[in-house]
Amino acid sequence: MTRLFFTTDVHASDRCFRKFLNAAKVYKAESLILGGDITGKVLVPIVEQKDGTYRADVFGKTTVVKKEALPETKKSLLDAGQYSFVTTPEGLEEANADPSKRDKIFDEVMLSVLRSWLQLAQERLRDTGATCYISPGNDDRIAIDSVLRDGDHLVNPEGRVVELPGGYEMITLGYANPTPWKSPREVSEAALGAMIESMASQVKRSETAVYNLHVPPIDTEIDKAPAVSADFNYVKSGLGVKIIHAGSSAVRAAIEVHAPLLGLHGHIHESKGFVKIGRTLCLNPGSEYSDGLLRGAIVNLADGKVKDFLLTSG
């Protein structure tokens, strides 16, 4: 039997990533798969004051932080998926006035956290026999590609076919169909379909393949999302919010044509669940990274079939 543990959309939450690594021992999983959107979206400035204290917007509230509490504050922010950097009022003014300087700071902090994660993964997994597969998602900047490389117990499977224990082939793609946010890795449905097909055509046995595709198939229970207007506000419907299917038609078409064994998806945090498309089991564990809650899926594969699976939360 081959056991996988899959999660996605941790968005820089250090607490979620550490839980992910612990899954190798806790769930006795041979393969840990982190399916995209691994980096954060928020950068919090911690501004030094003349009296030696610091001020920061911590979870929506302006907070005074003493110097000795800086490490704890930065850790609390990172556990919730928020990067931070220490600066002066003048430094903050310069960063706010120059978008390129602000982006440079973001990239430096982002890459520093990612490097520390990869080092931690190699240390934690050294004696487990498990392999960790980490790939980018649509929200991840292209800058991470130079850091996210194969190493001891680590594989970046993006854009290729890799073999999991038990001989199960896995294809991986973090790109998404267009979203309102115009994230770094978005392409048209036609381009997305071509990218998937270029890998699917290399798979030797489609019936036992795993499709690790960040975006879920369209028109299912695992691709429902709140509709968002052009100014990024929720679209109202009656007394609530309008819900739409935001998955990919290209992903669905690839699954319908090739009928793989398993689909691993994320991207839409609110749509935790599973669905069958023909013979293919498709999973989306959902995401609550900002609360430090790791949502995932344990999947047992045996004799070329999904023996059983369990959506997890903790």
Domains of the chain: 2-40+108-313 (3.60.21.10), 43-104 (no CATH)
Percentage of the chain modeled with pLDDT above 90:
97
Span 17-54, pLDDT tens digits: 999 999 999 999 999 999 999 999 999 999 999 999 99
Rounded mean pLDDT of 152-179?
A: 97
pLDDT at 230: 87
Question: Residue 63's beta-bridge partner residues?
Answer: 56
pLDDT at 199: 98
- CA angle in degrees (0–180, nearest 5) for 15-99-10: 15
Rounded mean pLDDT of 168-181?
A: 97
The strands making up 82-87's β-sheet, listed across from edge to edge, are 61-65, 54-58, 42-48, 82-87
pLDDT at 186: 98
Residue 306: both structure tokens together: 């999904």
The DSSP line for 148-162 is ---BTTEE--TTSEE
Span 73-113, pLDDT tens digits: 999 999 999 999 999 999 999 999 999 999 999 999 999 99
Rounded mean pLDDT of 169-196?
A: 97
Percentage of the chain modeled with pLDDT above 70:
100
Amino acid found at 208: T
Span 204-262, pLDDT tens digits: 999 999 999 999 999 999 999 999 998 899 999 999 999 999 999 999 999 999 999 99
Span 45-80, pLDDT tens digits: 999 999 999 999 999 899 999 999 999 999 999 999
CB 68 within 8 A of CB 297: no
DSSP reduced 3-state for 133:
strand
- Above 90 in pLDDT, residue 195? yes
Place of tokens 């994230």: 183
- Res. 284 pLDDT band, cuts 50 70 90: very high
Round the average pLDDT of the chain to a whole number and report it: 97
